[in-house]
A and B are shown apart, each in its own frame.
Chain A
Amino acid sequence: MSDALSLEGIRKSFGKLEVLRGIDLTLAEHEVVCLIGASGSGKSTLLRCVNLLEPIDAGRIILHGEEITGRAVDVNRVRRGIGIVFQSFNLFPHMSVVRNITLGPRKALGLSKADADARADELLGRFGLSDKRDDFPDRLSGGQQQRVAIVRALAMQPELMLLDEVTSALDPELVAEVLDVIRELAGGGMTMLIATHEMSFARDVAHRVCFLDAGVILEEGTPAEIFGSPRQPRTQQFLQRIVQAGRL
């Protein structure tokens, strides 16, 4: 079986600022990998590159054995297989919850309205959002909005989910409901690449943790290795600051 996702020497600069300086990373099927690291270490950029929202300057991205960074690749087709959830939810404010969820399946996958609605209702039910079906996003709490955003990504039935600090914009008491959803996805065997500041969550859910620092993966290992006995001084320093902040 081929790897779900393979990144080879990814480099990305914004002007003179080199954000990613050669990232190599491979995800097996059903694997959950958490990216940790300080703000500006390149976590978000890496996720955006994988979804082809940012063109990379060098390297290759291989999804299920197919290189998706080539010139002739249909980016729209590739993106249909990759779900991404953003820190700021990015729901469409002019559409009801159900329309937010069915837009992709209907327009990108060509599903009929009935099929797309059925798919949306099934997912909304599964994540306890059925009563929000016809609401508009600005009537929902942050936690609910983010759960809808996750459902919207899932409705495309992606083979890979990218989560970009999905709880960072939430009030503390709303974080748990979103993390529960992600745990359920992990339990269901979804392949996920997760950028997060929630260290205890990363320890819980990740099969592997990567510490990003200044655009490279400085250290990677099982959660026990990274959180229990980090080898790199930079990793130790970072985790120590997190502990001091009371977040681990």
Chain B
Amino acid sequence: MNVKIFCIAEVVILFTALGVAVLRGLTGPVFFPVRFFAVVYADFFRGIPTILLIYMLGFGIPALQLSGVPTSELFWGTVALILVYTAYVSEVYRAGIESVHPSQNAAARSLGLSHGQSLRYVVIPQAVRRVIPPLLNDFIGLQKDTALVGVLGVVEAFRQTQINQADTFNFTPGIVAAVLFLLITVPLTRFTDWLIARDRRRRQATGVLA
């Protein structure tokens, strides 16, 4: 269950957060409302405790009994995680985008590329490479926070642990749950390290310095 929440949320966040970061980076007075929205969004969802948002969305929205709106706690718990982590991750992206020297954008624009093309082909690829370690940091945080969805009554790993514990007065299920979390996060870390190393090798393997 945790893995499922994590996988769905992560993919969504990767894109929405990039979107928020790009919106915030738009220049010119025309884009002020968009920029303003992005700033407010990041401030708001980073500012409130995750567990509170999960409570509010998970219990609040199904209770409103709106027609055509999903009532699943799992759904709203996941949405809450996405909203919160999008805010965190968008700031990571923004730091990455701002760390790419303006001369790179100038070089791209001088070739006649549009602002969007410059971002897409030149700025963002470099930005993403630089922020992979902090991104992973946030995703490990996300993976662990999937346990918070348990407060809604969704039976995920931590919730299951509590149930088993209550039955048997035995803390072993907690250790099992901890190991299960590590089984996911540690390989994820190694995988990212490998990706970074591969990128570095690829850049330097070909050719010899003349």
Interface residues in B73-114 (C-beta closer than 8 Å to A): 103-104, 106-114
Whether A84 is near chain B, meaning CB under 8 Å from some CB there, is yes
Stretch at the interface among B120-128, B164-172, B173-181, B186-194: B120-128
Whether A90 is near chain B, meaning CB under 8 Å from some CB there, is yes
What is the CB-to-nearest-CB distance from B147 to chain A, in angstroms, rounded to a whole number?
37
| A109–B117 alpha-carbon span in the complex (Å) | 12
Given contacts A86-B107, A144-B210, contact A107 B121 (CB under 8 A): yes
Whether B30 is near chain A, meaning CB under 8 Å from some CB there, is no
**Inter-chain contacts of B207 with A (CB < 8 A):** 131-132, 134-135, 139-140
Q: Do residues B126 and A141 form an inter-chain contact, with CB atoms below 8 A?
A: no
Count of B interface residues, CB-CB < 8 Å: 25
Q: Do residues A79 and B206 form an inter-chain contact, with CB atoms below 8 A?
A: no
Q: Do residues A107 and B117 form an inter-chain contact, with CB atoms below 8 A?
A: yes
Given contacts A86-B103, A92-B104, A94-B129, contact A103 B113 (CB under 8 A): yes
What is the CB-to-nearest-CB distance from A143 to chain B, in angstroms, rounded to a whole number?
9
Whether A77 is near chain B, meaning CB under 8 Å from some CB there, is yes
Given contacts A103-B121, A107-B117, A108-B112, contact A141 B107 (CB under 8 A): no
What is the CB-to-nearest-CB distance from A99 to chain B, in angstroms, rounded to a whole number?
9
| A44–B103 alpha-carbon span in the complex (Å) | 13
Whether A51 is near chain B, meaning CB under 8 Å from some CB there, is yes
Given contacts A93-B126, A94-B126, contact A84 B110 (CB under 8 A): yes
How does the 8 Å CB contact mask read for A70-113 relative to B, with 1 for contact and 0 for none?
00000011011011101010111110100000011001110000
| A131–B206 alpha-carbon span in the complex (Å) | 11
**Inter-chain contacts of A104 with B (CB < 8 A):** 111-113
How does the 8 Å CB contact mask read for B182-210 relative to A, with 1 for contact and 0 for none?
00000000000000000000111011111
What is the CB-to-nearest-CB distance from B176 to chain A, in angstroms, rounded to a whole number?
42
Q: Do residues A135 and B113 form an inter-chain contact, with CB atoms below 8 A?
A: no
Whether A195 is near chain B, meaning CB under 8 Å from some CB there, is no
Q: Do residues B111 and A152 form an inter-chain contact, with CB atoms below 8 A?
A: yes
**Inter-chain contacts of A131 with B (CB < 8 A):** 207
**Inter-chain contacts of B112 with A (CB < 8 A):** 76-77, 79-80, 104, 108-109, 156
| A106 nearest CB neighbor, chain B only | B121
**Inter-chain contacts of B104 with A (CB < 8 A):** 90, 92
18 contacting pairs across A/B (C-beta < 8 A)? A51-B110, A53-B110, A76-B113, A79-B110, A94-B125, A94-B129, A94-B203, A103-B113, A107-B121, A108-B112, A131-B207, A135-B207, A138-B203, A139-B208, A139-B209, A141-B209, A141-B210, A156-B111
